[in-house]
Structure 1
Amino acid sequence: MSAVLKTVNRILLAVLGVVLVVLGGAVLAVGLGLDPPSWWIHHGRDDVLLGDAERTRWRDEGWWWPTVIAALAVLLLLALWWLTAVLRRRRLTEVLVETGDGEGALLRGRALEAVLNGEAATMDGVHRAHTDLRGRRNAPEAEMRLLLEPHVDPGTALADLTEGALTHARDSAGLASLPTEVRLRAARHRAERVN
């Protein structure tokens, strides 16, 4: 998921959550007997959310139903766009490898991920490696997570990864670049009891 989509997703969820909490809390407060302000939509404990007058006020106006239907259609389209953006396949299934003769070959994304994981895991002090490929098949991007032993310097591990596994993967696939986001984390080992 791109950073922009993550940001939009978080903002929309936060705004929706705040609106629901404020409205629900206010209705609950009025229902429990607190006096609402004069501008609030509820005026007391026995008040209904929408009375007959509010529900039927615009029914006879010619613009009312087309406006309601258009607004609901826009909300539905936005909700569908949001759902497809969140559920869209994020992993890259294949990478286009340049063969040098103007042709290309397709390499499975999982195969390239496995090679990157295997080579990164053989580096000194790397406990475990995990790679996900993103982007387009002719311009892949990698997201790597390395679990490092406590004694390993993160800068050294990153330099070894860049000069080793990432360079080999980029060169072997004939890619001009392989942008990579690397997340480093230290492995935690349980203390063992000595008798």
Structure 2
Amino acid sequence: MLKAVNRVLLGLLGLGLFALGGGVLLGGLDLQRHWGFDVPGWWPFRGPEDVVLGTWGRVRWRAEDWWWPAVIAVLVVLLALLLWWLLAQLHRHRLGQVLIESEGDAAARLNGRALEDAIEEEAQVLDGISQAHVRLTGRRAAPAARVRLLLKPHAEPVRTLEQLSGETLAHARDSAGLDRLPSEVRLREVRHRSRRVA
């Protein structure tokens, strides 16, 4: 649902900006005169001498006390909404459910957070792992895992990665009945502050 709304909003916004930019370009380059066609009477940009906001539009509400605070408030709200929308696009959403394949027409759904917790708990038992954080992304029928591991100082990254892939992620894949579970693993080492010994 959210993807459909985003696509519709992006399409409408793009279409509006394209029309506005085309209108300004049409008037600014005086294309209607060069190409021999006329624009409608309501068209705001008729030639290179026209401006986006004329003198009458700029000074019309200048004497009103409410005008500039209202303009600034609307622009601030619009900017906040656009920033929120941008951050929503950049944020990778957590997968809420995983579709488990089963025989016949029946299909089951597994809570994505429960699978994340199970992977985290099993990963933290592995030797050399201090902390694990798992997030499922992708689609319900084809999930992917993003795993962040905090390694203990004595940990061997290659061995830890092999254990995680061969045991923990394999168990998660098998228990959810998935054909595959692509995973991106990020490793970080615990850093201790140095202390002065007197």
Shared fold (TM-score, shorter chain, > 0.5)? yes
Alignment correspondent of 2:86: 83
Alignment correspondent of 2:133: 130
Alignment correspondent of 1:112: 115
| AA at the equivalent of 1:176 | D
Shift of 1:100: 2.9
Equivalent residue for 1:190, pick from 173, 182, 193: 193
Helix, strand or coil at the partner of 2:178: coil
Q: 1:191 to 1:89 in 2, by over 3 A?
A: closer
Alignment map for 1:25-64 (pairs within 5 Å): 62-64=42-44
Equivalent residue for 1:178, pick from 181, 184, 189: 181
Superposition TM-score, scaled by structure 2 size: 0.55
Helix, strand or coil at the partner of 1:134: strand
CA distance in 2, matches of 1:151, 1:88: 34
Unaligned runs of 5+ in 2: 1-40, 47-51, 53-78
| AA at the equivalent of 2:149 | L
| AA at the equivalent of 1:63 | W
Shift of 1:176: 1.1
Shift of 1:104: 1.5
- Provide Cα deviations, 1:118-142, integer angstroms capped at 9, x if missing partner: 0000000100000011111111111
Cα RMSD for the two superposed structures: 3.3
Alignment correspondent of 1:49: none
Q: 1:105 to 1:154 in 2, by over 3 A?
A: same
- Provide Cα deviations, 1:145-168, integer angstroms capped at 9, x if missing partner: 000011111111111000011000
CA distance in 2, matches of 1:193, 1:91: 43
Helix, strand or coil at the partner of 1:174: coil
- The count of corresponding residues between Structure 1 and Structure 2 is 128
Shift of 1:62: 4.6
CA distance in 2, matches of 1:89, 1:163: 26
Superposition TM-score, scaled by structure 1 size: 0.56
Point out 4+ residue stretches in structure 1 off by more than 3 angstroms. 79-85, 190-195
Percent identity reads 52
CA distance in 1, matches of 2:129, 2:111: 25
Unaligned runs of 5+ in 1: 1-60, 69-75
CA distance in 2, matches of 1:80, 1:65: 30
CA distance in 2, matches of 1:65, 1:81: 33
Alignment correspondent of 1:164: 167
| 8 A contact 2:92–2:137 mirrored in 1 | no
